[in-house]
Structure 1
Amino acid sequence: MTEQKQTSCTPREELYERIGKFQERLRKAGIQAALVVQKADLFYFSGTCQDAHLLIPTQGEPLLMVRKSYERALEDSALEKIIAVRSFKDIGSNIAGMLTGNGKIGMELDVLPVNLFSRYKKMLEPLEIVDVSGVIREIRMIKTPYEIDCLRDAASLTAEMFAEIPNFIEEGMTEIELSGKIELFLRVRGNQYPRIRAFNQELSIHILSGWNAAYPSYFDGPTGGSGVNSSSPIGSGYKKIGRNEPILIDYGPVLNGYMVDHTRIYSFGPLSDKLMEAHNTALEIKRRIAREAKPGLDGKDLYDIAIGMAEQSGFAQHFMGYGVSFIGHGVGLELDELPVIARNYSIKMQPGMTIALEPKFIFPDEGTVGIEDTFLVTENGLEPFIPALDDAIQIL
């Protein structure tokens, strides 16, 4: 018996709707075309993650040029024009055949390495390469109904995971053991590895307990973790899970490329009054932001509300950990999408945004408490992806 291939094809009309929005932005900016190469963006506009270049002109049909694997790209993508190429020379020849003159061509300069930029610059002459990464991220920031359904699927898997956590945790087990059980549970249900756009921000699984959830790392987030060694100094380590300490489960399952992000706190036995009070403050902050975040409101104003509540609680110095100045971030194909709810970062709430709100308090040598939930911005405000998920600390 032959196993059925597990593949998810983005609908044709979905791809062309996204491409149409991008083409409109390119025309307004006076850019002839864009050459998309980054994996998440390539998947967003073409439906495939094969080794390929997608040329999107301001008018007409895009061209997907595939080096490897052409056959799989044909299976994945619903685009009309898909061709096989062998080299940069082939790519350049095809682009030269579609574009004329010395106008502008857009690329994702936020992620493109300098050595590759130099090759593209030479290949694309006399065209001028300009940055369109911001435009792409803004388009991706507003999710379509299809994408929202994908996110709901990921959220459903998250709810299943949290329901099973009490069956996985054992007092005295290591964080790595718990992480392995959770990862196996998710993996056999189709979980994929999350993507993150920022340079050198490799992602690890934040399943942490006690002091290790407050152990600093390079990661641009409120929690860190020791990791298993200095070559991967983040996330779960060999620390054993003990009593009367917070156990943080911060995980974003990924299905069909799309991820959500949620955090819950567990404990064997009660936590100190201080930690409980800080956790309840985090819940109040999340609920207040969820009420206030209506379309048109500026994200920096939401951040200011959160900071004000943290200061009133007396725990401000522990809010959001080490050098972190945000309380929420977008999710979708990548963990660090727009919008960002951050200090001095102005961005208006719009329907279709998806935001992971994560007010947390980090206490060195004691642990982390707080919450994270992913929300959809609607015309009426924020709608949680998992409405029934309990956000109180679960005492085991």
Structure 2
Amino acid sequence: MWAENGICELTPNSEIQNRIHALKKEMAEADIHFSIIMGNVDLFYFSGTAQRGLLVVPLEGDPLLLVERDQDRARRESPLPVTPISSQRDVGSILAERGILRGRGAMELDILPVSTYNRLLGILGVDSCTDLSPLVRAVRMIKSEFEITQMKRSGEIMDAVFFRAGEVIKEGMREIDVEAELTAEGRRHGHQGLLRMRGFNAEMMCLYVISGQAGTIPTAVDVTIAGLGVTPALPQGSSFKVIQRDQAIILDYGAGYNGYITDETRAFVIGTISEKFERSHEVAREIIEETAVFAREGTESTRIFEHALSRARDAGLEEHFMGYGKGKVSFVGHGLGLELNEMPVITPRHPQILKEGMVFALEPKFVFPGEGSIGVEADFIVRKERLERITSHPLDLFRL
């Protein structure tokens, strides 16, 4: 097997066929006759490989995997037949010969550069293509048991790093030193090395170690607790700040296995923290535990947000919930999968009925200007009768 050479398990042919079938169903409902997929994540999802090329899915007929580089590796990784191309210029003639360029086409317009889109239109000889991305995100939102297995293995990496954190964090260490130790721990357990997000300028570190006032600094990144970072070029993440006693320490970690991401947060303290921080952490933990009791397939996602906000309001913490002032974010959870910002989003603005197979992170957090931040985050699989946690690490406030 290819996996015997040090690579994670390959995506089974049955998975690929089910995904393509689901996409074709969405295409038929949207009156789309052929789709062209080029984004690495979507290409991997629908073909099992992320080698340079594109996947063409006609509404009628078999998909066509066109690979420029590396064709041999693509053949090892994908169960689909590989058609070699020397460059994108070959695509138009190949598709025309097979009669695919008929009717309405679609591409991933939320991630495709305008120059690439325009070049492909010229190659294909078509005037325009509609946006494929909403269909792709809808298909990817429901995870198969194969995908859930990958996410649970990602969760095992998460557990290993959080259990190790209590041994690593020491007074006087810099945030970035803790990050370095724990990032190495994750890699030793098979972390894939990076996280993917969807969107223009979407960037995210694998691990954020944030202590004290560094957890209160707002930035352009749409997260509650971003950290100071080490440079304005990447204004987020761990910094050179020295970890001190009696300050909340936040570890926000994204594990990744075989493409699949888990994302959780834990809070630590060396010594003690104020009653306000203690109470805020307890409210955050209770929000997660209470949500796990009532949410399941059929629950509307806005109910989860409303419950979290109500609990924060009842505790007198609404002003600090999910950020402070202009640093507030409008969600309390987000979908997970091959990307860190998948559907569903747990927000009051976008109602979504939970379905079995959805996976999301719930992250109630609180920010206190000039003092620090605290909170917790846990990942859940939606089941028919319950929410199932992905990891086993406790949601406690850890005292070192």
Deviation at 1:334, TM superposition (A): 0.3
8 Å contact from structure 1 (residues 329, 338) kept in 2: yes
In structure 1, C-alpha distance between the alignment counterparts of 2:298 and 2:222, rounded to whole Å: 27
One-letter code aligned to 2:204: L
2:256 aligned residue: 254
Deviation at 1:161, TM superposition (A): 1.2
Q: Structure 1 residues 101, 159: closer, same or farther in 2, change over 3 A?
A: closer
2:342 aligned residue: 337
In structure 2, C-alpha distance between the alignment counterparts of 1:281 and 1:41, rounded to whole Å: 37
One-letter code aligned to 1:320: M
Which ranges of structure 1 fall in alignment gaps of 5 or more residues? Answer: none
Provide the secondary structure at the position in 2 that maps to 1:59.
Answer: coil
Instruction: Note the 1:281-292 alignment, pairs <5 A.
Output: 281-292=283-294
Provide the secondary structure at the position in 1 that maps to 2:367.
Answer: strand
Deviation at 1:118, TM superposition (A): 1.1
In structure 1, C-alpha distance between the alignment counterparts of 2:202 and 2:247, rounded to whole Å: 28
8 Å contact from structure 1 (residues 299, 342) kept in 2: yes
Please report the RMSD computed on the Cα atoms of aligned residues, expressed in angstroms. 1.4
2:190 aligned residue: 190
Provide the secondary structure at the position in 2 that maps to 1:254.
Answer: strand
Q: Structure 1 residues 172, 329: closer, same or farther in 2, change over 3 A?
A: same
8 Å contact from structure 1 (residues 107, 129) kept in 2: yes
Instruction: Note the 1:172-321 alignment, pairs <5 A.
Output: 172-192=172-192, 193-204=194-205, 205-321=207-323
8 Å contact from structure 1 (residues 32, 99) kept in 2: no
Q: Structure 1 residues 292, 7: closer, same or farther in 2, change over 3 A?
A: closer
8 Å contact from structure 2 (residues 34, 100) kept in 1: no
Deviation at 1:198, TM superposition (A): 2.2
In structure 1, C-alpha distance between the alignment counterparts of 2:375 and 2:297, rounded to whole Å: 25
1:104-147 per-position Cα deviation (integer Å, ceiling 9, x unaligned)? 11111111111111112222223641111001001100000100
In structure 2, C-alpha distance between the alignment counterparts of 1:200 and 1:128, rounded to whole Å: 25
**2:373 corresponds to 1:395:** no
In structure 2, C-alpha distance between the alignment counterparts of 1:60 and 1:73, rounded to whole Å: 21
8 Å contact from structure 1 (residues 292, 302) kept in 2: no
Deviation at 1:234, TM superposition (A): 0.4
Which ranges of structure 2 fall in alignment gaps of 5 or more residues? Answer: none
1:119 aligned residue: 119
**2:11 corresponds to 1:10:** yes
**2:87 corresponds to 1:83:** no
Provide the secondary structure at the position in 2 that maps to 1:355.
Answer: strand
One-letter code aligned to 2:142: I
TM-score by structure 2 length? Answer: 0.95
8 Å contact from structure 2 (residues 51, 67) kept in 1: yes
Deviation at 1:331, TM superposition (A): 0.5
8 Å contact from structure 1 (residues 9, 78) kept in 2: no
In structure 1, C-alpha distance between the alignment counterparts of 2:52 and 2:347, rounded to whole Å: 35
User: Structure 1 stretches (4+) deviating beyond 6 angstroms?
Assistant: none
Question: Which of 335, 352, 356 is the aligned partner of 1:351?
Answer: 356
8 Å contact from structure 1 (residues 208, 236) kept in 2: yes
In structure 2, C-alpha distance between the alignment counterparts of 1:101 and 1:283, rounded to whole Å: 53
- Identical counterparts, % of pairs: 36
Q: How many residues align?
A: 392
Deviation at 1:233, TM superposition (A): 1.1
Instruction: Note the 1:21-36 alignment, pairs <5 A.
Output: 21-36=22-37
8 Å contact from structure 1 (residues 102, 128) kept in 2: no
8 Å contact from structure 2 (residues 176, 240) kept in 1: yes
One-letter code aligned to 2:243: I
Provide the secondary structure at the position in 1 that maps to 2:5.
Answer: coil
In structure 2, C-alpha distance between the alignment counterparts of 1:307 and 1:184, rounded to whole Å: 36
1:253-277 per-position Cα deviation (integer Å, ceiling 9, x unaligned)? 1011111111111110111000001
One-letter code aligned to 1:164: R
Deviation at 1:291, TM superposition (A): 2.0
Provide the secondary structure at the position in 2 that maps to 1:263.
Answer: strand
8 Å contact from structure 2 (residues 91, 124) kept in 1: no
In structure 1, C-alpha distance between the alignment counterparts of 2:163 and 2:310, rounded to whole Å: 33
TM-score by structure 1 length? Answer: 0.96
Name the stretch that deviates more: 50-59 or 200-209: 200-209
